[in-house]
């Protein structure tokens, strides 16, 4: 990681991201708590996160824009747009404006779709392939480290000064993140012009994922887990209010505990990837996170807290491994669209599960839903690690065989050229 931190461009990129993430985590939690306190409904609080996630389905269009423009330019304008969007929360004054919070959450998700694709693509341009895991690990550590204080600070500011102040602070972090990008010096190649139709351009990322067997399997396992992982957005409030019998704002404490586990996950993610490969790392993350969800069934903080920490530990492993695999197996001209396609493939089921979870928690015991989440996540991880294509040694052997075949073909082509070159000179007539 020292080599990554020695990179000036990455330091500016990381610094801007750190402040922006602080604003995001503060506003994200504040919006959910705000709706919960205005309506008294866990389901309506969960819908806040549903609207945010729903907006990320515009990812394919965002990916096209990212691949047709300089990535740094997209990120600058995206951050400024985020600042304008979050200031819309200043219009909320009572229960009658809950729809404003949901609208802001939706637009926040639209901005996030552009920023996520742009950041992934820009990082792949900035860093050599052998440093991507370390760079992604540091970014994940930064993101999750903010959870140690961001949610608590956001909840405290909300409790003392209200959601409007949280919105202004978040807008400021967006502006700072945009400014930090002006100090990032990256030689971006000119975007590759598209000569095919609009549909081909939009679907190119998804087609690439489908054709790459290794990437397809990892994305599929993650998407399967996301069919239920969205339940946690609503179940978190139920764990706090119904299980632990605390106020909704206590969720900030649990998110901070999750952040402690996530910091460790971010720090160890690159180390884990180098030893077992991206696919196995995703599988291990899913099994570990499933075990953490199972512990949250308890009504004792002594078991819920470790469960939340295990969930926090597993998620960075999943995110860093999936992102690194995606960047390594994607050509530069498709980075934005592949990132967007993967985002949609995993967030589409998550979006559905958030809405479904908000409905199911009103009918079924939240503990039963937690068991379902734990089983599906663990099963997804086990299925992934049993795929032979994910085995690090087999992948290395396949890569070596491909390299040997390419070298043999090049040698044969060169040999043929030499034979042709030593032939007799043509005889001129006359």
| pLDDT of res. 428 | 37
Helices (H), 56-131: 59-68, 71-86, 98-126
**What DSSP state is assigned to residue 189?**
P
**Distance (Å, whole) CA 354 – CA 51:** 9
pLDDT (mean) for 186-193: 68
Cα(425)–Cα(430) distance, integer angstroms: 15
Residue 309 has pLDDT above 70, yes or no: yes
Q: Is the pLDDT of residue 219 over 80?
A: yes
Q: What is the pLDDT of residue 429?
A: 34
DSSP string for residues in 298-338: SS-HHHHHHHHHHHHHHHHHHHHHHHHHHHHTS-GGGHHHH
What pLDDT, on a 0 to 100 scale, did the predictor assign at position 399? 53
Residues 6+ apart with CB under 8 A from 324: 132, 133, 136, 273, 278
Give pLDDT, residue 125. Answer: 81
pLDDT tens digits for range 323-367: 999 989 988 888 888 888 888 888 888 878 877 887 888 788 888
Q: Distance between CA 389 and CA 77 in Å, rounded?
A: 40
Residue 430 has pLDDT above 50, yes or no: no
C-alpha span between 159 and 179 (Å, rounded): 30
State the Rg of the chain over Cα. Answer: 24
Please tell me the predicted confidence (pLDDT) of residue 184: 82
Task: Establish how many alpha carbons lie within 13 A of residue 208's alpha carbon, considering only the half-sphere containing its beta carbon.
Answer: 25
Q: Encode 130-169 in three state secondary structure.
A: HHHHHHHHHHHHHHHHHCCCHHHHHHHHHHHHCHHHHHHH
Closest CA to 377 of 304, 309, 313, 293: 293
Whether residue 416 is predicted with pLDDT greater than 80 in this model: the reply is: no
Place of tokens 């991880």: 381
410: left (phi over 0), alpha (psi -120 to 50) or beta: alpha
* pTM of the full structure: 0.73
Give the span between the Cα atoms of 101 and 194, in whole angstroms. Answer: 38
Please report the domains of the chain, with CATH numbers, ordered by start residue: 2-183+203-402 (1.20.1250.20)
- DSSP letter at 241 equals I
Over residues 213-227, mean pLDDT:
92
**% pLDDT > 70, the chain:** 87
Handedness of CA 403, 408, 414, 416 (dihedral sign): negative
pLDDT at 415: 55
Task: Report the pLDDT value the prediction gives residue 375, as an integer from 0 to 100.
Answer: 95
Give the Cα separation of 360 and 244 in Å (integer): 20
Residue 419 has pLDDT above 50, yes or no: no
Output the average pLDDT for the chain. 81
* Better-scored residue on pLDDT, 395 or 425: 395
pLDDT tens for each residue of 251-304 = 778 877 888 888 888 889 989 998 888 999 999 999 999 999 999 888 888 898
| Mean pLDDT calculated for residue range 176-187 | 84
Q: What is the mean pLDDT of residues 395-414?
A: 55
**Given CA atoms 132, 133, 134, 138 in this order, what sign does their dihedral have?**
positive
Q: Is the pLDDT of residue 426 over 60?
A: no
**Over the stretch 32-82, which tens digit does the pLDDT of each residue have?**
888 888 888 877 877 887 788 777 777 778 888 888 888 888 889 988 998
Tokens of 392: 């690090």
Q: Are 218 and 317 in contact (CB under 8 A)?
A: no
Task: Decide: helix, strand or coil at residue 176.
Answer: helix
**What pLDDT, on a 0 to 100 scale, did the predictor assign at position 427?**
35
Q: For the beta carbon of residue 311, count every other beta carbon within 10 angstroms.
A: 29
- % pLDDT > 90, the chain: 19
Q: Provide the token pair at 345.
A: 């493939």
Tokens linked to 85:
């969007």
The pLDDT of 386-403, averaged and rounded, is 66
Residue 123 has pLDDT above 80, yes or no: yes
Confidence of residue 143 (pLDDT cuts 50, 70, 90): confident
Would you state the pLDDT for residue 243?
82
411 secondary structure, DSSP code: H
Of 269 and 237, more confident: 269
DSSP letter at 210? Answer: H
């Amino acid at each position: 990681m020292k080599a990554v931190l020695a990179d000036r461009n990455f330091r500016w990129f990381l610094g801007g991201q750190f402040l922006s993430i602080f604003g995001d985590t503060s506003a994200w939690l504040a919006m959910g708590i705000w709706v919960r306190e205005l309506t008294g409904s866990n389901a309506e609080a969960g819908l806040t996160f549903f609207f945010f996630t729903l907006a990320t389905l515009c990812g394919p269009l965002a990916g096209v824009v990212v691949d047709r423009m300089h990535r740094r330019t997209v990120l600058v304008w995206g951050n400024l747009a985020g600042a304008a969007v979050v200031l819309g929360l200043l219009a909320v004054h009572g229960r009658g404006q809950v729809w404003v919070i949901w609208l802001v959450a939706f637009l926040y998700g639209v901005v996030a779709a552009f920023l996520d694709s742009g950041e992934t693509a820009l990082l792949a341009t900035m860093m050599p392939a052998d440093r991507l895991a370390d760079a992604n690990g540091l970014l994940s550590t930064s993101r999750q480290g903010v959870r140690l204080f961001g949610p608590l600070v956001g909840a405290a500011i909300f409790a003392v000064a209200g959601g409007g102040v949280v919105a202004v602070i978040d807008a400021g972090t967006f502006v700072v993140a945009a400014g930090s990008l002006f100090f990032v010096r990256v030689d971006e190649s000119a975007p590759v012009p598209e000569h095919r139709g609009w549909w081909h351009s939009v679907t190119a990322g998804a087609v690439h994922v489908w054709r790459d067997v290794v990437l397809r399997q990892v994305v599929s396992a993650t998407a399967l887990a996301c069919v239920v992982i969205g339940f946690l957005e609503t179940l978190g409030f139920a764990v706090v209010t119904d299980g632990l019998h605390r106020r909704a704002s206590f969720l900030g404490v649990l998110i901070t505990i999750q952040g402690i586990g996530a910091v460790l996950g971010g720090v160890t993610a690159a180390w884990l990837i180098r030893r077992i490969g991206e696919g196995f790392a995703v599988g291990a993350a899913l099994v570990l996170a499933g075990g953490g969800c199972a512990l949250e069934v308890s009504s004792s903080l002594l078991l819920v807290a470790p469960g939340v920490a295990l969930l926090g530990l597993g998620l960075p492993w999943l995110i860093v491994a999936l992102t690194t695999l995606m960047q390594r197996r994607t050509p530069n001209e498709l980075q934005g669209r592949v990132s967007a396609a993967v985002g949609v493939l995993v967030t589409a089921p998550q979006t559905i599960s958030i809405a479904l979870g908000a409905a199911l928690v009103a009918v079924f015991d939240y503990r039963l839903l937690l068991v379902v989440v734990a089983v599906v996540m663990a099963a997804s991880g086990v299925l992934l690690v049993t795929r032979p294509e994910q085995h690090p040694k087999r992948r290395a052997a396949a890569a070596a065989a491909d390299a040997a075949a390419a070298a043999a073909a090049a040698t044969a082509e060169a040999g043929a050229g030499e034979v042709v070159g030593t032939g007799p000179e043509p005889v001129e007539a006359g």
